[in-house]
A and B are shown apart, each in its own frame.
Chain A
Amino acid sequence: MKIEKEPISGQYGKFKIDGIDYRIYWEEAGQGIPLVCLHTAGSDGRQYRALLNDKKILEKFRVIVFDMPWHGKSSPPENAKVGNYKLSTDFYISQIMSFINGLELVKPVVMGCSIGGRIILHLAINFPDKFRALIGLQSAGHLDPYYDISWLHRQDVHGGEVCGGIAYGLMAPTSPESDKFETMWHYMQGGPGIFKGDLFFYKFDGNIGNEIKKIDNSKCPIYLLTGEYDYSATPEETKALADTIGIEMIKMKNVGHFPMSENPKEFLKYLHPVLNKIS
């Protein structure tokens, strides 16, 4: 039987992040400009499978996706304990820079979604010279809590069920059910407390106030794309962010919080022109 092979290859490597060793898993495909993709809170790099399989993108870009520590196939650190994971802004920046330096990537493009869409703003503030461009999917400068996130990690509630239930609603009703299911499935497979731990960054530690004004788009071009069905980072919030930076945002029809995995076909219509500009 002939199988349909994908062009993706996966690898493990040991990276020192803030002085501690982490076993990180990443996947990549294509060649050319490095495009590092950051997954959402509580999920993993599988969200970017469509990009890793998109022939048009792979002609010009080396698409690289790593699973954050504690996520997907990446390990927790030595002596880790369940319940003590909490993503801080500093640790998030450190892991991204360690990964980029470890792979010796020169001026990569970094694209992140949700928490990834927030951290690219911190990267733009702190290291504008290090990147060719930054792409924020579902970016907002801050997010006030709108539901009690303690439900995401309780021993009397199945974490996979509740995290999946939360993720499902963030997607557009128009996105294909099979893609929505897989996006939800990634959430259902997360470790206990990991989604909640990531949200510490998203809803508290990573909130940006006036610092947004420090972003200089002339030093590093920034592109912001947000799905219309996202109620976590709404198009209105991305628009406010874009106005402060002085750039246009792109509102994507018929997608929600996970454009790259809930409806890749629709998402790529918006992403291709952005990547053409960057290349």
Chain B
Amino acid sequence: MFKSLIDNNEKRSQLSIMAQYLNTSFMISTIENEYLVNIEKGVVKNVEEGPFVMPSYVFKLTAPKNEWIKFLQHIPEPGSHDIIAMLRRKVLKFEGDLHPLMSHLLYFKLLLASLRPAESKNEN
């Protein structure tokens, strides 16, 4: 589901500028699966899909798969359009050292939203 974050770094060059001093690793969990994302200077360098035995990461975003599917729609429904909106609905949890996330909040929002399809399609 999030493996494709490794793609399109070139298209996201403007986004990388927003995080040019950011080096971090974070985990995205769909409960069923986990994705370990490594970022160097704002560029996604590696995405590894779990299961993991001893993953090392700075922070973790956990939401059920169906909630991530709703987030990743071309035009998400209200309440699924933003990670803080999901936090408000208590379907997403932020864990760990949140400094890299909160100091680059817009970057992470746009990075995840970059996985939305350019046109509408049923992703179920």
Contacts and interface: CB of A to CB of B under 8 A. Distances in A.
A169 B78 CA distance: 11
Contacts of B121: none
Nearest to B102: A151
Point out which of A147, A151, A173, A234 has the most chain B C-beta atoms below 10 A from its C-beta.
A173
B17 interface: no
B75 interface: yes
B106 interface: yes
Interface residues of A, number: 24
Contacts of B12: none
Point out which of A146, A156, A232 has the most chain B C-beta atoms below 10 A from its C-beta.
A146
B75 A161 contact: no
17 contacts: A146-B88, A147-B84, A157-B99, A162-B102, A162-B105, A168-B106, A169-B82, A170-B84, A173-B75, A173-B81, A184-B106, A229-B81, A230-B78, A231-B79, A231-B82, A231-B85, A231-B89
Q: Is the interface of B mostly helix, strand, loop or mixed?
A: helix
A228 B106 CA distance: 21
Interface string B63-89: 000000000000110110111110111
A161 B104 contact: yes
A231 B84 contact: yes
B103 interface: yes
B109 interface: yes
B103 A161 contact: yes
Given A161-B103, A161-B104, A232-B88, 13 more contacts: A147-B84, A151-B98, A157-B103, A158-B103, A162-B102, A162-B105, A166-B105, A169-B84, A170-B82, A173-B75, A174-B75, A231-B85, A234-B79
Interface of B: 75-76, 78-79, 81-85, 87-89, 98-99, 102-107, 109
Interface in A147-199: 147, 151, 156-158, 161-162, 164-166, 168-170, 172-174, 184
Interface in A16-72: none
Point out which of B83, B88, B99 has the most chain A C-beta atoms below 10 A from its C-beta.
B88
Point out which of B83, B87, B105, B107 has the most chain A C-beta atoms below 10 A from its C-beta.
B105
